[in-house]
Amino acid sequence: MRPLLRYGVVCLALSLAPAWAQDITAPKSAVAGEQVTLSIAGSGKATFYLIGPGISNTHEINLGEEIKLRGDVLRTAGDYQVVVCGDPCKSATFYVMPAKPFSISFLVHPSRVPVSQSDAVSGVAFPFDQFHNLVLAPVPISFQLASGKASLLNKTETTKSGAAWFRTASSKSAGPLQVTAAFQDISAKRVVQQVASEPCNLRLTGQRNATGILVQTEPVHDCSGNPVPDGTIVSFTANAGGVKSTVDAPIKKGIARAQMDANGAAVISGASGVVMGNELHMGAK
């Protein structure tokens, strides 16, 4: 209830204040977290109000003395208004700017990307000061992308309205892509997992054993030579005299393997995603 009452009093004071605004001397701008000194002309006692983003404050002051506003009440960037109510009320405004960059919020998309894709990786960086104010002043952000020991991108972008960004292609090699956004000694790191694209040249081999046919792939790679991730499903199909058998087998250690139940002559094929493998023609047992 009390803050509401205080707010009401301040609003009322503001409605009366404009005519005497020039009697308060305030800096045109200040920096978040730093002390600000105000001087107010006059004599006698008055009530001092400070209204800003996320703060409203009141004190009894002596007119004619300097008012020092501590840094901890000016942490949030934005417009602040000072109202002094003696006889009559006076007001002034000043702007608190964000302090120097203290941290970088860094968003990178996507978290997984197939290799050799153009414009596939993008990132945006936002510099913030130590009080979590977005730094709107231009800040040069250095973006660095490295895959293993190879550097894929190293460029500096200056923030516009508090944001700097990049967009680039994924590399040809699967593996983690280290993405860094840095300004002076501040940096933020993210990792994008570069994964193999669709399998390429799926090759099958098979041999009869006691329980049927053991069929397996050769090590499965994409067209850039990256091993397709373990767990990727390879669908094996055996057709033997109008009877079909299928096994969805995951790749393990680079190879998918399945036991097919077929005693007679059988044609075995394999597929992973949209990629078909070669056909195996197995004779009868």
Partner 1 sequence: MRLILPIVLAAVTVVLIAVALTSANATGKTVGISAGSSFLTPKPTTPDQALSNLLLNAKRRNWDEAFNSVSNAQSPNKKSFIQDWTGSYGSLRAFSALEGYDIRPLHITNDEAQMRVRLHWTTPVGPIEDVRDFRLAREGEIWKTVWPKSDMPIVPSQVIPVTYLRWDLVSGGSDDEWGAKNIDAPRVRIVSMNPLDFAEGAVVLGEVVNEDTIPAFVNVTATLVDGSGNAIDEETSFDKIDHILLPKQVTPYRIDFPKVKFKDVKNVRMNIKATLVPASADPVIGVMNQKVDPDYQGKAVLRGDLFNESGQTVNIPHVIASLYDNNGKVLWVADGYVERALLPQTSAPFSIEIPKNMASKVQNFHVVVNQYSMGRN
For residues 108 to 137, the per-residue mask of contacts with partner 1, x marking binding by CB under 8 A and - elsewhere, is xxxxx-------------------------
Instruction: Please tell me the count of residues contacting partner 1 according to CB under 8 A.
Output: 36
Q: How far is the CB of 61 from partner 1 (least distance, A)?
A: 40
Report the distance separating Cα 174 and Cα 119, nearest Å.
Answer: 16
Q: How far is the CB of 84 from partner 1 (least distance, A)?
A: 40
Asked if 253 touches partner 1 (CB under 8 A), the answer is yes
Report the distance separating Cα 71 and Cα 34, nearest Å.
Answer: 4
- Span near partner 1 by CB under 8 A; candidates 33-41, 52-60, 138-146, 234-242: 234-242
Nearer to partner 1, 38 or 141 (CB): 141
> Which pairing describes strands 266-272 and 275-276: parallel, antiparallel, or unpaired?
antiparallel
Asked if 141 touches partner 1 (CB under 8 A), the answer is no
Sign for the CA dihedral angle at 259, 262, 268, 272 comes to negative
For residues 160 to 189, the per-residue mask of contacts with partner 1, x marking binding by CB under 8 A and - elsewhere, is ----------------------------x-
Asked if 191 contacts 177 with a C-beta cutoff of 8 angstroms, the reply is yes
Asked if 46 contacts 85 with a C-beta cutoff of 8 angstroms, the reply is yes
For residues 192 to 231, the per-residue mask of contacts with partner 1, x marking binding by CB under 8 A and - elsewhere, is ---xx--------------------------------xxx
> Which pairing describes strands 112-114 and 186-195: parallel, antiparallel, or unpaired?
parallel
Nearer to partner 1, 36 or 251 (CB): 251
Q: How far is the CB of 32 from partner 1 (least distance, A)?
A: 19
Among 105, 117, 130, 224, binds partner 1 (CB under 8 A): 105
Q: How far is the CB of 213 from partner 1 (least distance, A)?
A: 11
Give the containing element (helix H, strand E) for 20. Answer: none
Report the distance separating Cα 32 and Cα 27, nearest Å.
Answer: 13
CB atoms within 10 A of CB 95: 14
**Of 56, 62, 63, 66, whose CA–CA distance to 27 is shortest?**
66
Cis amide bond preceding 138, omega within 30 = no
- Helix or strand or coil: residue 12? helix
Q: How far is the CB of 100 from partner 1 (least distance, A)?
A: 19
Asked if 242 touches partner 1 (CB under 8 A), the answer is yes
Among 13, 38, 139, 249, binds partner 1 (CB under 8 A): 249
Nearer to partner 1, 12 or 284 (CB): 284
The CA-to-CA distance between both ends of the chain, in Å, stands at 91
If you compute the radius of gyration of the chain from its CA atoms, what whole number of angstroms results?
34
- Binding residues for partner 1, rule: CB under 8 A, are 105-112, 188, 190, 195-196, 229-235, 242-250, 252-253, 258-261, 272-273
